Structures are given as C-alpha cells and as structure tokens.
Structure 1
C-alpha cells in the first residue's frame, strides 16, 4: 500500500513530556511555533525555537529535533511545505531564479516575525478546511502566498527557494564526520554528498580504509563511549543520540568493542 503524501499545510499538536527524533527534510518547510519549544541540531549547530518563532527548514538536509510541550500544555506548530512544483511555477511566472548557490550550510533559517507573516498564519489556523478534498485551488493559492511573502520579507531567500539543483559532489570525509550520528540509509548519505551509491562506497573505502557500515558502527560507538564517560549521559540517551535504533543492539555492539556493557561504566 503506497504511503500517503505529507499534507502541505500541517498543524502539529500533541501532549507529551517530550518527543525526540530526526528527519530528512525533502522540501522547504516554513514553520510557525505556536506553543512549546523546538530544539534542532543539523550536525553543525543547535537552535532553539520558542513560541512566536518563525523558521524556514531548507530541503535536502538532515535534522535532529526535540519537541518539548509547555508545562500543562500542548506542543503546537503550523507548517507549510513549499514543494518544488509550486516553486517552479512561481519561478516561471515571475522570472525568478537563484543568482548563486546558497552559501550558508545551515539547515534552518530563523526568520523575524512581522505583520504580514502574522496575518498569513492567522488565516491558516483552521487548516482542516484547506486540507479537505475540493479545496486544492485554495490550497495552491495559500502556498503561492507563502512564497511571495517570503520573497517580500526576506528577499535574500530567492537564492534558497529557487535553487533547483541536486546536491553536488562534496568533501565526503568532512560530511560524514559531521553527520555520522544520523540514522539514515547509505543511499541517503550518497545522495547528499552528490554521489551514486556505488561511487559513495568506493570513495568511502578509499578515504576511511573501512566499509561505510563498519566505520559508522565504530564511530558511533566511540561517540557513545565519550558521551557516557565524559558527559555523564545514560546509555538510554546516548544510543539514540549517536544513531542506533535499538538499545539491545547498541549494548551488544558496545560490549563487543569495549569489553564491558555500557550500563556498567
């Protein structure tokens, strides 16, 4: 059964102590923080977004996140996915193009809230009506409006929004050293470094003298050992932070490498 497409206007609301995870950002996403706190880490910097904060998550990036609801309240955010088809249509209609490849490697761009943005997001609060069948035309208009508001308020984002190129071939060693803790498939790492999977594996072994899977396992265990011994993290925290899916697999691999279970350190 095919996976249903992600809604282009998404209202996120839940009540929990916290929620951690990571994601590959496939499309640009404009988000408004309504309640609670969002902490993100893209492998280069950590950013914290409080209620009232506005941000643009750039496509083709890996991001870890922690969603923290307020005390006795719900975590709430409102997000608009700016898909490539919508952006290409706006690009053609207005003759807009990226003048150069964006220089900033940051995955998330904080934006300053202004009256135009505020009015736009206020109009999206009853998003359920836009998401229902039959409202595709209205939804397309709201997405276009979001793009035009971004260009009006932050014209420097033209180089980000209308850069339709795929990731180019980049420094593999530097990229993997920053992003080894993301739990994604090798084909995703290959894509983000501008390589086919076969070229990625070949280049990887030439640089690291190990296969990607063996190097990732060793590097993640080294980082987990550091987090537990130097930072005082519990194994139940460390294994997720370094990219393991399963605590038992992490404990087995850790003991095999260091001769002692992580819980015994």
Structure 2
C-alpha cells in the first residue's frame, strides 16, 4: 500500500511511502502541520514553499494550494496535523475574548520560526495516536486543539487576526481571480464560494465576462498553458497535466489532441 493515514476528525497522522499529490486543492479549515520526516512542497498563486523535517507551518483556510509530499532518506514521509475548525475557534473566541483586528495577512502558508516549544507539543501528540482512535476521546482531542490555539496565540500574536477572522469571502473581481487560479483542480462550487457568489450567480457572471461556460473555458485555458509549457519550456507531459489540474494522463492527452490535432508528445 502506498499510503497509510490515521484519519481523526481533529488530528491526522500521515505516513507516505511514495511521492504523493493531494487531490482537491482547496483548504477548507485552518491547519497546523509538523513535518516529522520527508518534505512537503506547497504552491499557491504567490509561489512555492518547501517544508522539511522539523519544520512547522500554519495553513490558512479558504485558500487554493497544491500539496506534494515526498519521502525522506528513511523512505517515508511522516507528519502530524491539527485542524482548527471555525466552530472550535468560535468557542475559544467566546471563552477567552479573542477577536481579529483589521490588519489581515492573506498568505496561504506561514512558516513558524523558533518553534521548539510548539514542536515539543506536536511531537507529544504521537503518544495519543492510539488513544484518539478510541470511542469517547473527543473531549481530550478538543483540549489538545485548544492547547494548540493558545500556544499559537502566545507565540505568534499576529495569527490572532487570521485565527479569529470568521468572515466569509466577499464578492471579488471574477475575471482576475479566474485568470490567476485556473490551474487549481477544484470544483465550480469552490470557485463560486471563493469569489463570493452562489453557483448560479458565478455561472451567470462568468458567461457574461468570458462568453463561454466555466468548464469549457477552464479546459481551453489549461490546454493553452500546457501547449506553451511543453513546446516553449520543455516541460514533461506527466509534469504538465498534474500541474494544470487534469485528473489523469489519458483525459489530458485526449483533450489535448482534440484541441490541437497533435498529441502532447508530438508537440514536444
């Protein structure tokens, strides 16, 4: 088996034995991740960041990002993650009086430096792995989530403005957003939500701007970029189809040949 995940509602322990790419590239909740071995390569519209063994990073919710996990020298990728839901953070906000200020940092990833205390806490969660999988462990898990939030607030005060910002995405410039984010492999519902629209309004606004449907435009835009990357930049076919949000190589090759009359390998 290529991957082994112990999935828990609030805390996840991951172990990958081969290079892995996450499917959908939408971050629904804030998360705190400690890389135990191997590395995570994360890409958003601002660029790419790499987190290796011993690194801790915070990932902001309502973001589009690509995640790639690679095993280290030991032959495995391991990490422990804590997911901080809006419901949990609402409870903590009411309990301790935390509120977000007006200053917002919209970066998707935040590398947490000088995090030895936080690292010790994240490392300690491994001791609870078997216990958390048992019935009745929800209260203990919530205590550990709360402890993680209180540590973040004490060690990285600027994260308060992110953690306790409960606003939903507002209506934004759809054309600019789509031209910047077309390569992320997410549903139309996600695109609609992130641009502050219902799905029906998103489709209606989209066709007014682009004079075509979202699905047709996304495929054509991705194929145009693929042609450029293969022909002009010398990118490999396997690298391109994944980076541009196609589900599999056969679908990409079929759509590419239908669009350009040539297979991707012939263009290269």
TM-score tier after normalising by the smaller chain length: over 0.9
Instruction: Give the 3-state SS of the residue equivalent to 1:125 in structure 2.
Output: helix
Counterpart residue number, 1:112: 113
Q: Which of residues 136, 141, 146 is equivalent to 1:134? A: 136
Structure 1 length-normalised TM: 0.93
Matched, 1:263 2:256: no
Q: What is the alpha-carbon distance in structure 2 between the residues aligned to residue 138 and residue 72 of structure 1? A: 32
Matched, 1:158 2:160: yes
Q: Which moved more, 1:126-135 or 1:52-61?
A: 126-135
Counterpart residue number, 1:184: 186
Structure 2 length-normalised TM: 0.92
Counterpart residue number, 1:124: 125
Q: Is the 8 A contact 1:7 1:131 kept in 2?
A: no
CA displacement at 1:238 relative to structure 2: 1.2
Instruction: Give the 3-state SS of the residue equivalent to 2:22 in structure 1.
Output: strand
Counterpart residue number, 2:4: none
Pairs aligned (count)? 259
Q: What is the alpha-carbon distance in structure 2 between the residues aligned to residue 15 and residue 123 of structure 1? A: 23
Q: How does 1:40-51 map to 2 (within 5 A)?
A: 40-51=42-53
Residues 93, 107 of structure 1: alpha-carbon distance in 2 compared, 3 angstrom cutoff: same
Q: Is the 8 A contact 1:204 1:211 kept in 2?
A: yes
Q: Is the 8 A contact 2:41 2:67 kept in 1?
A: yes
Unaligned stretches of 5+ in structure 1?
A: none
CA-to-aligned-CA distance 1:148-188 (integer Å, 9 cap, x gap): 00000001111100011111111211211121111211111
Q: Is the 8 A contact 1:98 1:160 kept in 2?
A: yes
Q: What is the alpha-carbon distance in structure 2 between the residues aligned to residue 224 and residue 209 of structure 1? A: 22
CA displacement at 1:21 relative to structure 2: 2.7
Q: How does 1:5-154 map to 2 (within 5 A)?
A: 7-16=9-18, 18-22=19-23, 23-100=25-102, 102=104, 104-126=105-127, 127-154=129-156
Q: What is the alpha-carbon distance in structure 2 between the residues aligned to residue 114 and residue 107 of structure 1? A: 19
Q: What is the alpha-carbon distance in structure 2 between the residues aligned to residue 150 and residue 207 of structure 1? A: 42
Q: Which of residues 227, 239, 242 is equivalent to 2:241? A: 239
Q: Is the 8 A contact 1:9 1:81 kept in 2?
A: yes
CA-to-aligned-CA distance 1:202-252 (integer Å, 9 cap, x gap): 211222222211111110001111121122222222111111113222212
Q: What is the alpha-carbon distance in structure 2 between the residues aligned to residue 48 and residue 78 of structure 1? A: 16
Cα root mean square deviation, aligned: 1.5
Counterpart residue number, 2:175: 173
